[in-house]
Amino acid sequence: MEGYVQAGIGVVLLIIGVLLVINLLQNHKIRQKMQKDESKLLDNYQSLKAAYEEVSQDKEELAEHCEELSRSKERMQKTAYTDYLTCLPNRLGYSEFIEAEMRGMKPDEVLAILDIDVDNFKIINESYGHSYGDDTLREIARRLTRLVLERGAYLARIGGDEFAVVLRDFSGREELEAQIQQILNYLKEPYRIGEKEFLLTVSVGVVMVPIDGTNCQVLTKNMDAAKFFAKTNGRDMYIFYDDSLSRTLAAKLELQNEIRKAIEDKAFEVYFQPQIDLSTDQIIGFEALVRWNHPERGVVPPAEFIADAEECGLIVPLGEFVLRESCQKLKKWQDEGYTKQVLAVNLSARQFKNRDFMDSVMKIIQETGVDPKQLEFEITESMALDDLEYTIKTLQSLRELGVSFALDDFGTGYSSLNYLKRLPVNQLKIDKSFMDRVLEDHSDQKIVETIIALAQALNLVVIAEGVENAEQADFLKSVSCDKAQGYLYSKPVRENDLKVFLQM
């Protein structure tokens, strides 16, 4: 029995021992695994730590990068909104400013925006060079800065020779106009740049905010319209926008469109007005005067379209048409044996200044086969003087072909002896305005006599236009005027009605 018990205890002990060994073995395995896991964890931790360090370094770099980006964005924005020449805000900066101003305006607040445009700035650039032009713009910017910034006004350069000023510190229209006039006056003071001294003027379009517009686009359009009228009314002035300006401008654009179409449709016609030799009463020539055969308005006189055609450049094709028509008619008369009468054709400034002017004249002379000896051009003093050297050169080249020249509307412009002496013209045309009152007005009489004496002294032929009655003709004869033209002899007529004059 005891033996069994002992054996049982032995078995139990063996089992316990086996279990212990198994347990020990398992524990060892677990420990081994734990050790493995621990070192894996450590590895992971290390790589995570490294990654974290890397990320935080990247984060720092990123932050630096962001800062640099925002700095350069600021720089770019500043450049995009600033004019490089004057360091003033440019058009973009100006538009942003106006939009922001309008968003923040109080109900009773009023602003005035001035569009200041330098008159004839092109001439400064062309005669002295572009860097000189730049210096002039900087000087204008400096004057404006000094004058308007101290008043808390806003100033920007919104175009090549265009500045915008926003005024807000005025109690009423009168005070505002005084401020604008002060700007005009200050800009008119002599400029001394480098060796040169010169004067310039500006034309200003003014809009009131919010009356004349509540966004930058509308305000700009209206400011342009006002400025346009300041320019076309003689420059060196300011004009306030009002609705009628827009309407006038729209009508003008429509008229210019109609002129364009009328040129294509050949709706223009050349009339001719005889010119008389006062010593023989013979017809010695004609002046070509254009008319517009308008489908609704009938025959439209040139006073109603020449200036607009000139303004938009359509005078160039229109003038070419008149010259071609005139040369064709003259060629026909020459072929019929009328070789004495001169045909005078009016030139406009823009046509004469056009680069292709000489080529176009030569081409028309060649195409029509006309003898240029019977062709005369009428130019005005202001046209001739605008670029005297060019005028002299062009006139001389045409004179070599036999073309002659008359100075139209003489007495209304500079009438300076100095340039008259240099201009290769053959004839002076006394302006109609002097003839109108020559019989009643003593000073007009004296002017006519003086022009005739001047013409004689310079060996020029003199013709009086606008002669409407026999008394005027008698007066002209008594003061030895060479020629006359006017309703007394004939109004301008169609070619068909000319035969009677050609045969005289």
| Part of the chain binding ligand C2E (CB under 6 A), chosen from 23-31, 129-137, 442-450, 461-469 | 461-469
Among 204, 223, 290, 425, binds ligand C2E (CB under 6 A): 290
C-beta of 439: minimal distance to ligand C2E in Å? 14
Q: Is there binding between residue 285 and ligand C2E (CB under 6 A)?
A: no
Among 346, 368, 391, 394, binds ligand C2E (CB under 6 A): 346
Among 155, 219, 225, 306, binds ligand C2E (CB under 6 A): 306
470 binds, among Ca ion, ligand C2E, none (CB under 5 to 8 A by kind): none
Half-sphere exposure of 323 (CA within 13 A, CB side): 29
C-beta of 432: minimal distance to Ca ion in Å? 6
| Part of the chain binding ligand C2E (CB under 6 A), chosen from 8-16, 195-203, 346-354, 398-406 | 346-354
Distance of CA 32 to the CA centre of its chain: 92
How many Å apart are CA 402 and CA 437, to the nearest integer? 36
Q: Is there binding between residue 487 and ligand C2E (CB under 6 A)?
A: yes
C-beta of 237: minimal distance to Ca ion in Å? 27
Of residues 220 and 348, the one with the C-beta less far from ligand C2E: 348
Distance of CA 317 to the CA centre of its chain: 20
Among 133, 302, 372, 411, binds ligand C2E (CB under 6 A): 302
> Taking CB under 6 A as the rule, which mask of x and - marks residues 415-444 in contact with ligand C2E?
-----------------x------------
The residues, ordered by sequence, that sit 6+ positions from 432 with a Cβ below 8 Å of its Cβ are 465, 466, 486
Distance of CA 491 to the CA centre of its chain: 38
- Tracing tokens 């490089």 back to the chain, one arrives at 84
Give the torsion through C-alpha atoms of 168, 171, 175, 177, to 10 deg. Answer: 50
Rg (CA), the chain: 44
Among 101, 119, 139, 468, binds ligand C2E (CB under 6 A): 468
Contact 323, 380 (CB under 8 A): no
Nearest alpha carbon to residue 320 among 395, 266, 273, 275 = 266
Contact 52, 45 (CB under 8 A): no
C-beta of 465: minimal distance to Ca ion in Å? 5
The residues, ordered by sequence, that sit 6+ positions from 35 with a Cβ below 8 Å of its Cβ are none
115 binds, among ligand C2E, Ca ion, none (CB under 5 to 8 A by kind): none
Of residues 86 and 472, the one with the C-beta less far from ligand C2E: 472
Of residues 83 and 409, the one with the C-beta less far from Ca ion: 409
> H or E stretch including 52?
helix 2-81
Site for Ca ion in 355-394 (CB under 5 A): 378
Q: Is there binding between residue 374 and ligand C2E (CB under 6 A)?
A: no
319 binds, among Ca ion, ligand C2E, none (CB under 5 to 8 A by kind): ligand C2E
Among 89, 93, 319, 411, binds ligand C2E (CB under 6 A): 319
> H or E stretch including 125?
helix 121-128
Q: Specify the pairing of strand 238-240 against strand 268-277.
A: unpaired
Among 147, 283, 289, 398, binds ligand C2E (CB under 6 A): 289
198 binds, among ligand C2E, Ca ion, none (CB under 5 to 8 A by kind): none
Contact 291, 300 (CB under 8 A): yes
| Part of the chain binding Ca ion (CB under 5 A), chosen from 35-43, 139-147, 189-197, 345-353 | 345-353
> H or E stretch including 112?
strand 111-118
Give the torsion through C-alpha atoms of 445, 447, 451, 453, to 10 deg. Answer: 70
Site for Ca ion in 394-423 (CB under 5 A): 408-409
| Part of the chain binding Ca ion (CB under 5 A), chosen from 252-260, 342-350, 361-369, 472-480 | 342-350
Among 115, 325, 376, 408, binds ligand C2E (CB under 6 A): 408
C-beta of 291: minimal distance to ligand C2E in Å? 7
> What is the strand order of the sheet 202-209 is part of?
154-159, 162-167, 111-118, 202-209, 238-240
Residue 370 dihedral angles phi and psi, to the nearest 5°:
-75, 150
Of residues 376 and 409, the one with the C-beta less far from ligand C2E: 409
Hey, CA dihedral for 97, 102, 107, 113, is it positive or negative? positive
Which residue number has the CB closest to ligand C2E?
486
Q: Is there binding between residue 301 and ligand C2E (CB under 6 A)?
A: yes
The residues, ordered by sequence, that sit 6+ positions from 224 with a Cβ below 8 Å of its Cβ are 115, 205
Please tell me the total number of residues recorded for the chain in this structure: 504
- Tracing tokens 């003061």 back to the chain, one arrives at 479
Distance of CA 445 to the CA centre of its chain: 42
The H-assigned helical ranges of 336-439 are: 349-353, 357-368, 381-386, 388-401, 417-422, 432-436
C-beta of 340: minimal distance to ligand C2E in Å? 21
Q: Is there binding between residue 370 and ligand C2E (CB under 6 A)?
A: no
Contact 498, 272 (CB under 8 A): yes
360 binds, among ligand C2E, Ca ion, none (CB under 5 to 8 A by kind): none
Of residues 112 and 306, the one with the C-beta less far from ligand C2E: 306
Q: Is there binding between residue 466 and ligand C2E (CB under 6 A)?
A: yes
What are the residues binding Ca ion (CB under 5 A)?
Answer: 346, 378, 408-409
What are the residues binding ligand C2E (CB under 6 A)?
Answer: 273, 289-290, 301-303, 306, 319, 322, 346-348, 378, 408-409, 432, 465-468, 485-487, 492
